[in-house]
Chains A and B, each alone.
Chain A
Amino acid sequence: MTAQTPSRAPIIELKNVCKKFDQFEALKNITADIQEGEFFSLLGPSGCGKTTLLRLIAGFEPPTSGDIFIDGKSMDGISANRRPTNMVFQSYAIFPHLSVADNVGYGLKTKKLPKAEIASEVEKVLNMVDLGSFGGRAAHELSGGQRQRVALARALVMRPKVILLDEPLSALDKKLRDQMQIELRDLQKSVGITFILVTHDQEEALIMSDRIAVMFEGEIAQLATPEELYRRPATKRVASFIGVMNFLDAKVTRISDDELELEIAALGPVGLPKSAAPEGVDPAQITKIGIRPEMLTLLFDPSDKAEHEVAGNVVSNDYYGDMTYYSVQLPGQVDPVTISMRNTAGRSIAKPGSPVRVGWGADSVVLF
Chain B
Amino acid sequence: MARGLSREDRQGLTLIGLPFGYALIMLAAPLLMVITFSFWTQNYLDIDRTLTLNNYREVFSQPIYQALLWRSLRISLIVTIVTVTLAFPVAYYLSFHVKRRKALWLFLITVPFWTSYLLRVFLWKVILGYNGVLNSALLEVGLIDEPLTFILYNANAVVLTLAHAWAPFAILPIFVALEKIDRSLLEAAEDLGDGPFRRFWRVTFPLAIPGVVAATLIVLIPTVGDFITPKLVGGTDGLMVANMIQIQFGKANNAPLGAALAVTSMVVVAAISIGIYVAGRKIGGRVSR
Determine direct contact between A and B, CB below 8 Å: yes
Q: Which of B1-55 contact A (CB under 8 A)?
A: 1
Q: Mark A56-94, 1 if CB is under 8 A from B, else 0.
A: 000000101100000000000000000000000000000
**Bound complex: CA of A204 vs CA of B21, how far in Å?**
52
Q: What residues of chain B lie closer than 8 Å to A65, measured between beta carbons?
A: 1
Main secondary structure of the interface of A (DSSP, over half): loop
Closest residue on chain B to residue A65 by CB atoms: B1
Closest residue on chain A to residue B6 by CB atoms: A62
Q: What residues of chain B lie closer than 8 Å to A62, measured between beta carbons?
A: 1
Interface residues on B, range: under 10
Q: What residues of chain B lie closer than 8 Å to A64, measured between beta carbons?
A: 1
Main secondary structure of the interface of B (DSSP, over half): loop
Q: What residues of chain A lie closer than 8 Å to B1, measured between beta carbons?
A: 62, 64-65
Closest residue on chain B to residue A62 by CB atoms: B1
**Bound complex: CA of A62 vs CA of B1, how far in Å?**
10
**Bound complex: CA of A65 vs CA of B2, how far in Å?**
12
A132 smallest CB distance to B (angstroms): 40
**Bound complex: CA of A256 vs CA of B1, how far in Å?**
51
Closest residue on chain B to residue A64 by CB atoms: B1
A179 smallest CB distance to B (angstroms): 38
A21 smallest CB distance to B (angstroms): 11
**Bound complex: CA of A139 vs CA of B1, how far in Å?**
41
Closest residue on chain A to residue B7 by CB atoms: A62
A55 smallest CB distance to B (angstroms): 14
A364 smallest CB distance to B (angstroms): 48
Closest residue on chain B to residue A63 by CB atoms: B1
**Bound complex: CA of A83 vs CA of B1, how far in Å?**
22
**Bound complex: CA of A64 vs CA of B1, how far in Å?**
6
A299 smallest CB distance to B (angstroms): 56
Q: Mark B92-126, 1 if CB is under 8 A from A, else 0.
A: 00000000000000000000000000000000000
**Bound complex: CA of A217 vs CA of B236, how far in Å?**
76
Closest residue on chain A to residue B1 by CB atoms: A64
A83 smallest CB distance to B (angstroms): 17
Q: Mark A106-139, 1 if CB is under 8 A from B, else 0.
A: 0000000000000000000000000000000000
**Bound complex: CA of A62 vs CA of B2, how far in Å?**
13
**Bound complex: CA of A64 vs CA of B6, how far in Å?**
12
A56 smallest CB distance to B (angstroms): 13
**Bound complex: CA of A332 vs CA of B1, how far in Å?**
56
**Bound complex: CA of A308 vs CA of B1, how far in Å?**
58
**Bound complex: CA of A64 vs CA of B3, how far in Å?**
11
A81 smallest CB distance to B (angstroms): 15
Closest residue on chain A to residue B3 by CB atoms: A22
Closest residue on chain B to residue A20 by CB atoms: B1
**Bound complex: CA of A65 vs CA of B1, how far in Å?**
8
A64 smallest CB distance to B (angstroms): 6
B145 smallest CB distance to A (angstroms): 66
B2 smallest CB distance to A (angstroms): 11
**Bound complex: CA of A127 vs CA of B164, how far in Å?**
62
A52 smallest CB distance to B (angstroms): 15
Q: List 3 A-B contacts (CB under 8 A).
A: A62-B1, A64-B1, A65-B1
A-B CB proximity, top 3 nearest: A64-B1, A65-B1, A62-B1
